[in-house]
A and B are shown apart, each in its own frame.
Chain A
Amino acid sequence: MRLLAGVRERLRAVLLRSREDADLGEELRDHLEREMAENQRRGMTPKEARRQALLAFGGVDRIREEVREARGLGVLDDLAGDVRYALRALRRNPAFTIVALLTLTLGIGANTAMFSLVNGILLRPLPYDGPDELVRVYQANPAAGELSGRISFQDLQDYQARAHFFREIAGFANMPTILTGQGDPVEVQLTYVTPEFFPLLGVTPLQGRLLVEEDHRAAMPSAVISESLWRTYLGADARVVGNRILLRGEPYTVVGVVPATMRHPTPGTAVWVPHSLVEPNVFANGFPQRDDRYLEAIGRLSPGATVEQAQQELTSLSGELAATYPESNEGWNAATVVPLQTSIVGDVDAALLMVLGVVGFILLIGCANLANLLLARGIARRREMAIRLALGAGRTRIVRQLLTENMLLSLMGGALGLLVSFWVVRIIVALSAGTLPRVEDVRIDANVITFTILLSTFTGTVFGLIPALRTAAIPPQADLREGRGAIGGDGRRARSALIVAEVALAVLLVVGAGLMVRSFFKLRNVDAGFDADRVLTVSMQLNLTGVPEAEVVKHLINRRQEYIDALRALPGVRFAGAINVFPLSDAADFTQEFTPARPDLQTRVNADTRYVDPGYFQAMGIALLRGDSLPRSWPADAPVPVLLSRETARRLFADEDPIGERIRAPWGEAIVTGVTADVRQTGMAQAPEPAVYFPHSIAPRLLVTIVLRTAGNPAGLAGPVRQAIKTIDPNQPIRAITPLRTIVSESIAEDRFFTVLFALFGTLALLLAVVGIYGVVSYNVRQRTQEIGVRIAMGAEPADVLKLVAGSGMKLVAAGMMIGTAAAVVMTRLLERQLYGITTTDPLSFAAALGFLALIAFVAICIPAYAATRVPPMIALRPE
């Protein structure tokens, strides 16, 4: 209580300073009057009474001062004074204040923005109970290089029954479907979930309930729908529970709505239905077998269990399963378990943290510039400090005063930076073009604000401490006597060291940016195996509504052909073809094992299996290297024709000609009709994987992407394409009509995003460093004006002066570049995973970055150096 009273009293004293002073004045006046009255009562004349009273009183001002001192008791009062003084000092020097605030706002703003991204994407826990216990579970086939495979229903059940480190494991499978009933049919994503799915995540429904065990046995299919479907498609109907929706014409009862925060692990899903409803035609035999690996899985770890323990346990379980069921599980003898958060964030974590590091370096460069400014300003303020010292101010008091100024600057910079970061975050998110996961979780929260405050405080100390100490270390007498005085050698050394440091940092960032840019151009120019110019892709999921079960296969084959033919007939279309899973799409690929049907060859390959229309290769511009394309038809008793990609042919047949050879698939034999160029199916940065192409008619698929090679701008055909499809089936939803160029460009959007960030921040670093160099060199020139004047008067040529001034500047730059290069050789290793097609010490990138930096630094030095050659020699004669 007593402590509290003290604090309250002190705060009151600081806040109500003038009130208190007035009160004290009144109190003292009252005292004086009473004393006078008393004196008069004792018989003194009024005049004498007053004189005596004042005498006894002894100086009202001194009392006031002492009371004030007793009241403030130091720190807080001093602080208020320091802040007032600092504000005055900053106002007196607006140019400095603006430059400093601008630097700090940019630096802290960029850091705050990057931190809020890192915070939202990497640090913020997922919106579930016990988010740390949630993991993704994959079955792995290390021999085939598949570490994150899917799981069969049978294996999942074995995992569920036998794993102790898991409280629960759940399976799910995504599947596009068509929602009809209200207005135009729309394609939405459906997720089949096993009964454990929702209880495992611990989601609270917005409306109704979640799927329970009984739903998996119920005669009438139930469905849980997403908040966004509920809002956009069902008009946020409060009585939606119990209503029916039609999926591919089948009625489902809506039992609940889940909130939009439940985004993972099924982003984009609109409808969740029981796993028991998976359509039998998904499976080869009409029901799931142990080798039908179609489920993705999530798990919740038992309390105290670690991810490593869980992975070990599932790996040994998988080993047992592989031994027990060799025909279905051979090779699938391992498992991968990763935290759910990690699986969502993917590999952007390293890149994001690196960019955070980059903006941190930029702030340091900014700090170096400010420290230099302050050192220079400190010299300009020597008189002020000397006078204050002479008047008895303590040195610690002066250091504190200067630190208060810097702290005030950096806190103001921090506040402005926080404001700026709102926009910076928006710009960065816009630049990321949808490639960043969890951006919806990025916002300015308490973490971010704390970060900004800490960063501002840290910044104020970093750039302010050394200049403050140096300024306060001035011997008082010296400066009062001399006018300007010679600058201390130490001051110059400190400034030089700062320049070397910031050049080194800039080298690091510019080299990093150079590597990223070069890598990106390599990636952009990579040969994907197809020709992306003037190609339009039309992807859809064929509408089966109203088609009887027995007709499905025929319908899929015929309808697909009708669409291809109709689009091929459009004016402006040169070639048309189709494939089930388009390259670079995120739809899961499907691999199968193939072996040559020849006893003398023991080779095997796990090849990406795609089903195409024969026109696909021509439309895509994929080169046919050998043999013929797929025939449109073949005799019923002949083996199925197949095209191999070059890599598949090489792995199976090495250098032999594969045309006419037979290969064995799990379901039978096929005959090789030709070999095509390799195509980058999974990503532009991923080496092409072996692929085989079968005629789509042998395995009709719901998904189809029709590829049109056009004579003119492909985007212009979107309207006619839509119309042509509508004419055939008005209820056929179209998922997307996209030029192939756009698809390629989107597939490298993440690389582009990080390249742009690095380039942007590299440029900023360069700019800041150059400003710093320019500032120091021109400051040195000003300091040495007289010396230079003497040299010119003594006959020095402009070239000599230029050499003198620029030489010392370039020496610093060279030292910084050397240190920076050495650091870059080590640090750029961190970029390894971001780079494509170049090493982290790519000589060309290093040379270009260093050359560019040296050139710009040289220009920055030459401007003030040239000014030095124009110093009139008369200046040497002028007294200071």
Chain B
Amino acid sequence: MAGDQSDLLQGTLDVLVLKTLSLGAMHGWGISQRIRQMSRDVLHVPQGSLYPALQRMKTKGLIRSEWRTTENNRRARYYMLTKAGERELARECAKWERSSMAVNQVLAWEGGVG
């Protein structure tokens, strides 16, 4: 998941974060860990992209954050989905499905043109 295709990266990263948070509130490190686990270690989220992305989504009102005390008494900023974030996730999932299906169809094409 490292790379320079920042447009794809950004859009994709946002939807991955939203998905992660739909499973429950989580702090920044947890989000990156979870994405790594869920992608079976394929997708590594660079922190340099994660935190700006979180801030951006917060500004857009997709997620909100609060400071919580965690296991062994540490403080961490937890992020959670807002209603708008849930809607956005549903929208993005549908979009992703459509386009990935289209890409698959293109890649699986074996017939001639026309």
Contacts and interface: CB of A to CB of B under 8 A. Distances in A.
Interface of A: 1-3, 5-6, 9-10, 13, 23-24, 26-28, 30-31, 34-35, 38, 56-59, 62-63, 66-67, 69-71, 73
27 contacts: A2-B60, A3-B61, A6-B59, A10-B59, A24-B51, A27-B76, A30-B27, A30-B28, A30-B74, A30-B75, A31-B27, A31-B28, A31-B29, A31-B47, A35-B29, A38-B33, A56-B46, A57-B47, A58-B46, A63-B47, A66-B51, A67-B52, A67-B54, A70-B55, A70-B56, A71-B55, A73-B59
A718 to B, nearest CB: 79
Contact of A2 (B30, B48, B51, B84): B84
B48 A66 contact: yes
Contacts of B48: 57-59, 62-63, 66
B77 interface: yes
B55 A67 contact: yes
Interface string B58-97: 1111000001000000111100001010000000000000
B55 A30 contact: no
Interface in B37-54: 46-48, 51-54
B51 A27 contact: yes
A26 B67 CA distance: 11
Chain B interface size band reads 20 to 34
A861 B80 CA distance: 72
Contacts of A59: 48
Nearest to A68: B55
A615 to B, nearest CB: 92
Interface of B: 27-30, 33, 46-48, 51-56, 58-61, 67, 74-77, 82, 84
The B contact surface, by secondary structure, is helix
A9 B59 contact: yes
B61 A5 contact: yes
A222 B29 CA distance: 89
The A contact surface, by secondary structure, is helix
Contacts of A35: 29
A67 B55 CA distance: 6
A62 B52 CA distance: 10
A6 B57 CA distance: 9
A31 B67 CA distance: 14
A76 to B, nearest CB: 11
Nearest to B82: A5
A526 to B, nearest CB: 75
A67 B59 contact: no
B59 A27 contact: no
A38 B84 CA distance: 33
Nearest to B45: A56
| 5 cross-chain pairs, A with B, having the tightest CB-CB distances, nearest first | A5-B61, A66-B52, A70-B55, A34-B29, A2-B61
Nearest to B60: A6
A71 B53 CA distance: 10
B5 to A, nearest CB: 17
A63 B52 contact: yes
Contacts of A31: 27-29, 47
A9 B58 CA distance: 8
Contacts of B84: 1-2, 5
Contacts of A6: 59-61
Given A6-B60, A70-B59, A28 B51 contact: yes
A870 to B, nearest CB: 63
Contacts of A30: 27-29, 74-77
B75 A56 contact: no
